[in-house]
Amino acid sequence: MQHRFERISIQTPRHRIVGVATLASDGYRSRLSDLLNAPERDFIPLTDATVTELDGDHEVSRHEFIAVHRQHVVFAVPLGAVAEPARGAVV
C-alpha cells in the first residue's frame, strides 16, 4: 500500500498536539476523518510530534512518536502534506 504523510493538529481538553500522521495515498484511509473514525483503532499514531499544554505556562515537549486516544480528541485539522520521513524514522 502506498502512503502519504500529513502534518495534523489535534486538540484535547488539555493539550495541542501537532505531528505527522501516515495516511493511505488514496481511497479508504486517505483522509484525516478516516483516521479519526476507524472503528478498529483506538489510538492515533503520530511521529515528529510537539505537545503544548493549553493551561499554565504552555510548556512544549517534543516526541519522536506519540499515540493519542481517539476519545480525547476535541478537534483535529490537517496542516498540509510533508515529505517522506527520513530512513529509520518511526511511521
C-alpha distances (whole Å) from 9 to each of 23, 37, 72, 78, 88 are 15, 16, 13, 6, 23
**pLDDT tens track for 10-24:** 999 999 999 999 998
Rg (C-alpha) for the chain, rounded Å, is 13
Paired residues of 46 in beta bridges: 66
The C-alpha angle with vertex 76 and arms to 50 and 33, in degrees rounded to 5, equals 125
| Residue 4 confidence (pLDDT) above 50 | yes
What CA–CA distance (Å, rounded) separates 48 from 33? 20
3-82: CATH topology is: SH3 type barrels. (2.30.30)
Which range has the worst mean pLDDT, 4-8, 36-40, 65-69, 75-79? 36-40
